[in-house]
Structures are given as structure tokens and as C-alpha cells.
């Protein structure tokens, strides 16, 4: 059975941008309304609305960067949403007086700030909770679901099953496999021996939860290898298996702690939001101020070499193994050939920094040589990356080269920070300059 992979716009930071713009417009409207009623007419007459709105925008952007919204996370409660709003508005209205002192002709009086804070904070709390309920309703209707399989008796982790069944979590338990008596928490779909075959037959499954001592060590390693290559997230509950060459990392699943083989900083939406913001800024700058000149030069070179199309389109695999069309300059090499890939970055199929992008045909051969190559699809492929900066070419031993590349890509996924992306970008520029 194939399940349709429905995705909400919440998977894109564009929705966060829309939320931010709406909240900024609301803050501007409330502050301007209160200024007209609470301050004297001279103050309002000397106040330039565009400057006031710019000050509020800078303060809001700084606050929301430190405290990103969490209403779209799979595991979040209403009090956490409201608490995040309180942090955001408090920091915002701490920054507004300082910014208004330098950029506005007059300083906004305290009463206006206090009333603005008291009005805007509950409005944002209400708006985000309403939006959260809309996401929960969409997930109840089958959108943005995570298809999960439980391996082991659900009675060992009842809180996990309750969490997975929460509508706002967007998880659907496809099957449960365990030996012994039937559990009231989840219907048994077969024995433990049948679990692996079921997972291999259903490609839409993207999460597996192993409860207790359900499997033998060899079975754990086989399941781990398969899940990693197929981009299936594997969680261990009340069990610490001995996986070959892997250490486990703790993570929160609802109200219980789980162990996962792979630390992924980019599973947090706030981190994906920051990374996507950097991608948009860098790609827009390159496409507006650098790409037009490079395109003219590349077109002239390609025409002198015999003509033909300027761009070369290739099929590549990206995030979660999904295929996309990568754009490059034809008949050119090096960093210049990759310049059109900033178009892929802008539309969201690639990132400026990420695992090395491999064409779909070569991907199959790479997966045969390196069994854990599928881990590279845990993030969007990058124009540059930690592997590209550190790995050295070795034409005599391509398997060893792929292994080193994979090692660097895994390290990058486990240690991602925004500052690391910035360092990699500058390191790539320095290498090209040298």
C-alpha cells in the first residue's frame, strides 16, 4: 500500500514569514493607534510613520530570531506557544525605546509602550493558538502526516502511543508488531519476525519505534542499516542496542525520552527557519548582483565552444530522497558551473551549505559502495559543504573517497549551527580565491 505524502505549507519557512509579516503589521497598527490617543498632537505630528514601522520591524525581527515561533512543531503545548509569545513581545518592547531614541525624532513615552505590550501580547497568543488549532485540524484530515510503525509491546511505552495519536502531532500508527497477548493500546498486525518485511514493503513509512528488548542485536543492526538508507527515522524506547560504529543520542518524544542513532540539529523547525533565511539572503544577493555578469561570460564561452544550450539540467536526489532538477552551466567546470544552482537554493530544493549533491544515476552506485549513503538525504544538498571543504580527491580509490565524504556529511548533520554554515561559506570563497 502506498500512502500519499501530503505536506502542509508549514514545512516551508515561507509560512513563518507570513506569520511574521501579519504580526508586525498588527504591532504597527496598535502602536500607531495608541500614539494618536495617548500622546500629544505635537508628538504625533512629528512622528514619521515609516520610521516608526521600521523600528518596530527591526525590534520584532531581532526578538523572533532569538525566540522563533513553535506553533508548527509536532510536539508543543498551548502554554509553550503562549510562553514563546511572551518572550518575543517582552524583548521587542525592550528594544523599541532604545531604537526609537536613535532613529525617531521623539522618544515614545512609557504609557504607549506599556499599553501596546498589554494589547499586542494577548492578541499574538490568541492568533498563534488559533493557527495551531488549524494545523491540528489539517492533520486530522490527513495532511502532513508521519507514518509510523511500532516494533515491540505498546504497553512498555503507553505515553508514547498516546502522544503519537494526538491530532496535532500529525502521526499515524500504521502497524504494531509484538509477541504475546493483545494490547488495548495498539492492534497487533503480526509477530516481531514479520515487522521487517512490512517496513520494506511500505515505502511511505518514515518513523519506526522499537520498544524494549523486541529484537536481537543482529536484527537491530539490520533494521538500523535499512532505515538509515531509506531515510526512516529510528527511535529506541527503554532499550540501548549495541549498533555497530554508532553512538545513540537522546531526544524527546512527547513526555518520554527516546534514543536515536543520528543527532540532527535540523529536525528543529527553528534551526530550519534560520538556515532557510540564510539561503534566501545569500541566493538573492548572488542572483541579483553576481549571476547576470557570470551568465553573460558563460554564454559567450559556451557559444565559442560550439554553441548549444547554456544550461544543463540533471536529475538529482535531495531531501528525504526526493528527486529534483539541478541547474548548471553546460561545458564549464568548477564553481562557475555551479552558479545557476543558486536558483535551486532560492526555490528550496537545495541549500547553500549541505551534503554533497550527487546525480540520481550515480546515487545508485554510491549506495552500493557505501551502505550508509542514504544519510546524506537527511538535509538538502548544498552547493558547498563540510565535505567539499575538507575532503580530498582520490581517483585511485573512489570507495575510500566516498567514505570520507560521507563521514564529513554525517559530522555536518550532527554539528550543524548557523555559524558553521557561515564559516563554510567563507572557507569556500577563500579556497576559490587561492
The 3-class SS string of 332-378 reads: CCHHHHCCCHHHHHHHCCCEEECCECCEHHHHHHHHHHCCCHHHHHH
Radius of gyration of the chain (CA): 26
Q: In this predicted model, what pLDDT tens digit does every residue of 252-305 receive, in sequence order?
A: 665 677 777 766 777 776 678 788 888 989 999 999 999 999 999 888 888 888
- List the grid coordinates of 34: 495608541
What pTM value is reported for the model? 0.65
Alpha helices in 108-153 (DSSP H): 110-140
Q: How far apart are CA 270 and CA 273, in angstroms?
A: 5
The Cβ-side half-sphere exposure at 331, using a 13 Å CA radius, reads 14
- Every domain of the chain and the residues it spans: 9-140, 146-262, 269-433
What H or E segment, with its residue span, contains residue 272? helix 269-289
Considering the domain 146-262 in this protein, what is its CATH number? 3.40.50
Q: Which whole-number Å values give the CA distances from 319 to 12, 113, 170, 194, 354, in the listed order?
A: 13, 44, 20, 29, 10
Q: What is the pLDDT of residues 313-352, one digit of tens each?
A: 988 888 877 888 999 988 777 778 889 999 999 988 999 9
> 163 vs 5, 47, 152, 168, 256, CA distance in Å?
21, 51, 17, 9, 9
Please write the tens of the pLDDT for every residue from 191-236.
888 888 999 888 888 889 988 877 777 787 788 888 877 778 888 8
Q: What DSSP state is assigned to residue 430?
A: H
What are 148's strand-pairing partners?
Answer: 173, 207
Nearest Cα to Cα of residue 239 among 230, 254, 250: 250
Per-residue pLDDT band at 434 (split at 50, 70, 90): low
User: 3-class DSSP state for residue 185?
Assistant: coil
Closest among 252, 265, 269 to 378, alpha carbons compared:
265
- CA–CA dist 283, 297 (Å, integer): 19
Taking CA 381 as the corner, what is the angle to CA 377 and CA 382, rounded to the nearest 5 degrees? Answer: 155
Amino acid at each position: 500500500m502506498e500512502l500519499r505524502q501530503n505536506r502542509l505549507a508549514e514545512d516551508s519557512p515561507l509560512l513563518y514569514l507570513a506569520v511574521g509579516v501579519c504580526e508586525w503589521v498588527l504591532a504597527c497598527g496598535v502602536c500607531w493607534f495608541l500614539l494618536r490617543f495617548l500622546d500629544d498632537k505635537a508628538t504625533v505630528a512629528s512622528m514619521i510613520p515609516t520610521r516608526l514601522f521600521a523600528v518596530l520591524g527591526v525590534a520584532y525581527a531581532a526578538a523572533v530570531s532569538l525566540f522563533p515561533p513553535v506553533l508548527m512543531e509536532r510536539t508543543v503545548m498551548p502554554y509553550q506557544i503562549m510562553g514563546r509569545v511572551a518572550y518575543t513581545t517582552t524583548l521587542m518592547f525592550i528594544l523599541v525605546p532604545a531604537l526609537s531614541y536613535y532613529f525617531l525624532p521623539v522618544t515614545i513615552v512609557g504609557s504607549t509602550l506599556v499599553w501596546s505590550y498589554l494589547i499586542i501580547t494577548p492578541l499574538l497568543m490568541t492568533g498563534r493558538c488559533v493557527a495551531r488549532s488549524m494545523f491540528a485540524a489539517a492533520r486530522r484530515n490527513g495532511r502532513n502526516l508521519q507514518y509510523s510503525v511500532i516494533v515491540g509491546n505498546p504497553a512498555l511505552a503507553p505515553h508514547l502511543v498516546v502522544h503519537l495519536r494526538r491530532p496535532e502531532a500529525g502521526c499515524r500508527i500504521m502497524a504494531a508488531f509484538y509477541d504475546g497477548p493483545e494490547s488495548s493500546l495498539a492492534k497487533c498486525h503480526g509477530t516481531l519476525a514479520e515487522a521487517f518485511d512490512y517496513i520494506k514493503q511500505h515505502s511511505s513509512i518514515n518513523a519506526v519505534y522499537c520498544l524494549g528488548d523486541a529484537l536481537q542485536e543482529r536484527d537491530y543492526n539490520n533494521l538500523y542499516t535499512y532505515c538509515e538508507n531509506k531515510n526512516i527515522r529510528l527511535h529506541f524506547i527503554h532499550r540501548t542496542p549495541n549498533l555497530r560504529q554508532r553512538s545513540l543520542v537522546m531526544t524527546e518524544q512527547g513526555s518520554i525520552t527516546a534514543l536515536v542513532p543520528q543527532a540532527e540539529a535540523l529536525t528543529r523547525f527553528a534551526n530550519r527557519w534560520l538556515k532557510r533565511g540564510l539561503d534566501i539572503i545569500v541566493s538573492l544577493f548572488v542572483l541579483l548582483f553576481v549571476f547576470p555578469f557570470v551568465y553573460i561570460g558563460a554564454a559567450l564561452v559556451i557559444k565559442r565552444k560550439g554553441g548549444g544550450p547554456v544550461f544543463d539540467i540533471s536529475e538529482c536526489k535531495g531531501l528525504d530522497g526526493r528527486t529534483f532538477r539541478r541547474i548548471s552551466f553546460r561545458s564549464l567546470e568548477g564553481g562557475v558551473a555551479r552558479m545557476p544552482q543558486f536558483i535551486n537554493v532560492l526555490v528550496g530544493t537545495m541549500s547553500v551549505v549541505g551534503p554533497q549533491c550527487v546525480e540520481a544515476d550515480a546515487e545508485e552506485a554510491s549506495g552500493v559502495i557505501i551502505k550508509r549513503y542514504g544519510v546524506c538525504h537527511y538535509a538538502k544538498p548544498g552547493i558547498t559543504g563540510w565535505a567539499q571543504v575538507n575532503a580530498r580527491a582520490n581517483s585511485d580509490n573512489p570507495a575510500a573517497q566516498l567514505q570520507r565524504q560521507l563521514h564529513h556529511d554525517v559530522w555536518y548533520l550532527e554539528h550543524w549551527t548557523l555559524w558553521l554554515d557561515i564559516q563554510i561559506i567563507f572557507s569556500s570563497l577563500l579556497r576559490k580565491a587561492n
